[in-house]
């Protein structure tokens, strides 16, 4: 086999199948190695080369749950002792309703949910195909009251949060809003007025469309300042 080599620039937009590297590199996320040993992109995204690992940061795509993720769900069905939750994913979440007294430490009021309620939940277990177990049995989880739900591309969630929550802090402070970001791309917001909410919505669209261009935080920050001045 030929020598190791990187075949793209770091942060370059790459398309599915595009050769990224060959040789000794390790496979990161959303890449595969073909029969000839070339590492290729699986998705439309940004090439991401860190030391000896080659990955693609996808620019779009459905939400695929991971254990430990925090998601915003909508109750879509309640049947017997289980609550079925839509989490904007190919897979529906399930919350078993705990049985009475065996679990005394459980706050049963939390399970008093109805169709269409919005909840903040944690992915407890996921087998990768059918069984997706959610939990609301933790401090801070459970029904979300008031506010509104916005959506972003699930692939853009890390950019909405930013490094050490930097972007989220900008969004919260500039729009004076309470914001909770679910890993599934649903965002719960409570804004002081429609003006801030509309500005936030535009800022989210800006994050989605400009995430591949560096200097995003500064642009979003000055955009919001401008949008909400006077």
Partner 1 sequence: MFESEMLTHNLLKDYVKDLVSKGQRIDGRGFQDYRPIEVKEGTFTKAEGEAWIKLGNTQVLVGVKADVGEPFPDTPDKGVLVSNTELLPLASPTFEPGPPNENAIEVARVVDRAIRSADAVDMSSLVIVEGKLVYMLFLDMYVLDYDGNLEDALTIASLIALGRAEIPKVEIKDDGEIEVKEEKWKVNLKDLPINFTFVKIGDQLLLDPVLEEEQVSDAAITLAIDKEGRVCSIQKKHGKFTMEEILNATSIARSKWPEIAERVREAI
Partner 2 sequence: MPLYVEKKPEVLITEDGVRTDGRKPYEMRPVRMTVGILDKADGSAFIEWGGNKILAAVFGPREVHPKHLVLPDKALVRTRYNMAPFSTPERKRPGPDRRSVELSKVIREALKPAIFVENYPGSVIDIFIEVLRSDAGTRVAGVNAASLALANAGIAMRGLVAACAVGRVGDFVVCDPNHDEDMWGDADMPMAMLMEAEEITLLQTDGPMTEEQFREALKLGRNSIRFLYEMQKEALKRPYQVVERSVRGVV
Residues 6+ apart with CB under 8 A from 111: 83, 95, 97, 98, 136
Residue 61 near partner 2 by CB under 8 A: yes
Question: Distance of CA 197 to CAs 1, 106, 152, 214, Å?
Answer: 56, 35, 14, 25
Residues 17 to 46 in contact with partner 2, rule: CB under 8 A = 17-19, 30, 32, 34, 40, 42-44
Site string for partner 1, 81-100 (x = CB under 8 A): -----x--------------
What sign for the dihedral angle of Cα 135, 136, 141, 142? positive
Residue 219 near partner 2 by CB under 8 A: yes
Residue 116 near partner 1 by CB under 8 A: yes
Output the CA angle 99-102-108, nearest 5 degrees.
50
Nearer to partner 1, 100 or 146 (CB): 146
Residues 153 to 182 in contact with partner 2, rule: CB under 8 A = 153, 155
* Closest residue by Cα to residue 30 from 3, 62, 2: 62
Residues 159 to 198 in contact with partner 1, rule: CB under 8 A = 188, 194, 198
Distance CA 103, CA 225 (A): 49
In the list partner 1, partner 2, none, the entry touching 102 (Cβ below 5 to 8 angstroms by class) is none
Among 7, 27, 59, 97, binds partner 2 (CB under 8 A): 59
Nearer to partner 1, 56 or 85 (CB): 85
CA 118 to chain centre: 17
Site string for partner 2, 105-144 (x = CB under 8 A): -----------------------xxx--------------
Phi and psi at residue 3, in whole multiples of 5°? Answer: -70, 160
Distance CA 96, CA 113 (A): 12
41 burial via Cβ count (<10 Å: 0-12, 13-18, 19+): buried
In the list partner 2, partner 1, none, the entry touching 125 (Cβ below 5 to 8 angstroms by class) is none
Distance CA 147, CA 156 (A): 22
Among 60, 81, 112, 225, binds partner 2 (CB under 8 A): 60
Give the shortest CB-178-to-partner 2 separation in angstroms: 28
Nearer to partner 2, 15 or 108 (CB): 15
Nearer to partner 1, 15 or 115 (CB): 115
Q: How many residues bind partner 2 (CB under 8 A)?
A: 33
């Amino acid at each position: 086999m030929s020598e190791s080599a990187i075949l793209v620039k770091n942060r370059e937009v790459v398309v599915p199948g595009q050769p990224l590297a060959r040789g000794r590199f390790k496979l990161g996320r959303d890449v595969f190695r073909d029969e000839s040993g070339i590492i290729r992109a699986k998705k439309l995204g940004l090439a991401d080369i860190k030391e000896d690992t080659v990955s693609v940061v996808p620019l779009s795509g459905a939400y695929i749950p991971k254990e430990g993720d925090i998601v915003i769900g909508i109750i879509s069905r309640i049947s017997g002792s289980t609550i079925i939750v839509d989490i904007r994913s190919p897979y529906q979440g399930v919350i078993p309703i705990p049985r009475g007294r065996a679990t005394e430490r459980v706050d049963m009021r939390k399970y008093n949910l109805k169709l269409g309620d919005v909840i903040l939940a944690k992915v407890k277990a996921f087998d990768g195909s059918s069984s997706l177990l959610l939990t609301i049995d933790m401090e801070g989880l459970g029904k979300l009251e008031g506010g509104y739900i916005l959506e972003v591309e699930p692939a853009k969630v890390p950019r909405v949060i930013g490094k050490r929550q930097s972007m989220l802090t900008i969004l919260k402070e500039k729009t004076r809003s309470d914001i909770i970001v679910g890993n599934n791309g649903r965002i719960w917001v409570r804004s002081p007025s429609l003006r801030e909410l509309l500005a936030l919505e535009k800022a989210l669209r800006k994050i989605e469309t400009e995430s591949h261009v560096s200097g995003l935080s500064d642009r979003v920050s000055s955009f919001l300042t401008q949008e909400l001045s006077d």
